[in-house]
Amino acid sequence: MTRVFNFSAGPSQLPTEVLQKCAAELMEYGISGQSVMEMSHRSSSFLEIIETTERRLRSLLQIPESYQVLFLQGGASLQFTMVPMNLLKPGGKAGVIHTGAWTKKAIAECRKIGGCEILASSEAEHFTEILKGVTTPQDLDYVHICENNTIYGTKYKELPECGNVPLVADCSSCILSEPMEISRYGLIFAGAQKNMGIAGLTVVIVREDLIQERPEIPSMLSYAVQAKNKSMFNTPPTFAIYLLGLVLEWVENRYHDLAALKTHNQQKAALLYNQIDQSRLFTNPVRPEDRSIMNVPFVTGDAALDAKFIAAAEAEGLVNLKGHRSVGGMRASIYNAMPLEGVQKLVDLMRRFEEENRI
């Protein structure tokens, strides 16, 4: 079997070694006589899996003791509801820096719960840049950002200064791609299906003082209830947690730490951006200093030519390069599991395609 290079924005490619280990353990995990999929979440085997997974995540991201790690469900999208439900004080207000489709959704859901102010928006620039120097009113309950904008390919290189207001970051498409200074955040959330494994698991990292007992909040939506029950108020997404554990083990074995992984990710991104920047056919509209190293959109400016390129790529085993429907063109998502070889193949094709389709 020949595996393709999968440039999907998510769910996305997994490391081959992770899939191989998962396959080897699929019928029987250890000497348990059963698959992880069949295990009770209360069994000692699974408790060891969840504890090891949390330990690995804490070690790689250097999460301070004063933060809780929660393994939840409902995708990153449910956090657009849980965050305001838990963090907005009665009559309080959130601030959002609007950088695209995912903050738009966060704003809409927040407004169903309480107050929400748009502190700044890059909509007029078609979300091709990250807004800097945004001032944070100090009466806000929190400031929400989307740290890496999956659709537009923009990324915060420096976090906004929020003073004493907690910063909440949607890190769905950048978590584990580089080191993070966790203490700068009040809360981080991310769906697992890009850099952390498979769909069905959402990781929340939250500063303990923001976890408030609020009896009026439905139990499943309460950080306090989830934290008190160590993410086991109900059956957690056991297989997805196990898979996150395998991904973290892979990162440790291959890169040792996130600084080394970042260097590798930067190399891949530079290869692709350099090709785009020297091209007379392909362009990337994002302000260079705001470019994401995970999601790289590019266009030819001609929809028919874009479609021809996507078909040519598919024929070479480079799949899921179609850009988001709101942007068009192409988008290469080059998460941790995408090897340099995959990006090199893409760049080689871009070069050849440009020669054959010279304008």
Long-range CB pairs of 184-189 (<8 Å, 24+ gap) are 184/159, 185/159, 186/87, 186/142, 186/210, 187/83, 187/87, 187/142, 189/76, 189/79, 189/83
Q: What gap in Å lies between CA 293 and CA 334, rounded to an integer?
A: 7
Instruction: Kindly write out the interface string for residues 84-123 of this chain, putting x where it contacts ligand PLP by CB under 6 A and - elsewhere.
Output: ------------------x---------------------
**How many chain residues bind ligand PLP (CB under 6 A)?**
12
150 near ligand PLP, rule: CB under 6 A: yes
Q: What gap in Å lies between CA 358 and CA 290, rounded to an integer?
A: 29
Beta strand 67-72 with 148-149 is: unpaired
What are the counts of helices (DSSP H) followed by strands (DSSP E) for the chain? 9, 13
Segment 41 to 80, residues that bind ligand PLP, using CB under 6 A = 75-77
First-to-last CA distance in the chain?
A: 38
Catalytic: 345? no
Nearer to ligand PLP, 150 or 231 (CB): 150
C-alpha of 301 from chain center: 28
Phi and psi dihedrals of 222, rounded to 5?
A: -100, 125
240 near ligand PLP, rule: CB under 6 A: no
248 near ligand PLP, rule: CB under 6 A: no
154 near ligand PLP, rule: CB under 6 A: no
Segment 184 to 223, residues that bind ligand PLP, using CB under 6 A = 191
Catalytic: 194? yes
Catalytic: 112? no
Binding site as annotated, residues for pyridoxal 5'-phosphate: 76-77, 102, 150, 170, 193, 234-235
- Cα–Cα distances (Å) from 131 to 96, 97, 118, 122, 146, in that order, read 12, 8, 12, 7, 12
Nearer to ligand PLP, 11 or 114 (CB): 11
Q: Give me the catalytic one of 141, 170, 290, 306.
A: 170
Shortest distance, CB of residue 76 to ligand PLP, whole angstroms? 3
User: Which helix (H) or strand (E) element contains residue 45?
Assistant: helix 44-61
Residue nearest to ligand PLP (CB): 75
12 near ligand PLP, rule: CB under 6 A: no
DSSP character at residue 322: B
From 54, 141, 170, 306, residue interacting with ligand PLP (rule: CB under 6 A): 170
Binding site as annotated, residues: 42, 76-77, 102, 150, 170, 193, 234-235
Q: Give me the catalytic one of 155, 194, 268, 322.
A: 194
User: Which of these segments, 169-177, 178-186, 262-270, 315-323, binds ligand PLP (CB under 6 A)?
Assistant: 169-177
Asked if 191 and 76 touch (Cβ cutoff 8 Å), the reply is yes
Nearer to ligand PLP, 9 or 18 (CB): 9
Beta strand 318-319 with 5-6 is: parallel
Active centre residues (catalytic): 102, 170, 194
Residues in contact with ligand PLP by the rule CB under 6 A: 9-10, 75-77, 102, 146, 150, 170, 172-173, 191
